[in-house]
């Protein structure tokens, strides 16, 4: 079964060690900066995020029931970016089980029975996709007004994706 400590270290960092830059940089989060300005030390903030924020995400994704450590770390990373319900929904659809967007026993069983390298590839690709869609939405929101696109602005299209 997966270990929360290792999954937290995989998903979160103070300094990015992930070449793909997919880790969450804790000290870059707005809440982290606000609390730091109000006198919290880096050690206190790390303990707070690890003990509350990460632990709650771990509970939601039922990380202790996941057999593969890297799978659990990737899922914690996905959860921290807010993509877990969508990702679980897609996974449940793919596996042909009831789609409730929650990490249920059937979903965990299927995850644990799938080849780990395929799960890792799928989770990494899904994370990249959801980040791309989120980035596109931010661009579109920034370049549109009530009447539509601002004059002279181009909104990039991401292939066949429709957001």
Mean pLDDT, residues 125-145: 75
The span from the CA of 30 to the CA of 8, in Å, is 19
Mean pLDDT, residues 109-135: 89
pLDDT over threshold 60, residue 9: yes
Q: Please report the DSSP string for 46-70 in residue order.
A: HHHIIIIIIHHHHHHTTGGG-S-HH
Looking at residue 159, what is its pLDDT? 47
pLDDT over threshold 60, residue 83: yes
How much of the chain, in percent, has pLDDT values that exceed 70?
76
pLDDT band at 89 (very low <50, low <70, confident <90, very high): very high
The span from the CA of 86 to the CA of 146, in Å, is 28
Three-state DSSP class for residue 150? coil
Whether pTM exceeds 0.95 = no
Domain assignments of the chain as residue spans, ordered by start: 4-114
């Amino acid at each position: 079964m997966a270990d929360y400590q290792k999954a937290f270290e995989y998903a979160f960092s103070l300094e990015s060690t992930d070449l793909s830059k997919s880790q969450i940089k804790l000290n870059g989060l707005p809440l982290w900066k606000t609390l730091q300005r109000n006198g919290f030390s880096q050690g206190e903030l790390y303990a707070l995020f690890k003990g509350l924020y990460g632990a709650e995400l771990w509970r939601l994704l039922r990380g202790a029931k996941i057999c593969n450590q890297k799978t659990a770390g990737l899922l914690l990373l996905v959860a921290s970016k807010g993509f877990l319900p969508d990702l679980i929904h897609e996974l449940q659809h793919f596996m042909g089980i009831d789609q409730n967007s929650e990490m249920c026993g059937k979903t965990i069983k299927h995850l644990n029975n799938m080849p780990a390298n395929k799960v890792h590839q799928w989770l990494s690709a899904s994370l990249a996709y959801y980040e791309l869609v989120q980035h596109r939405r931010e661009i579109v929101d920034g370049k549109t007004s009530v009447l539509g696109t601002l004059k002279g602005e181009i909104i990039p299209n991401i292939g066949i994706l429709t957001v």
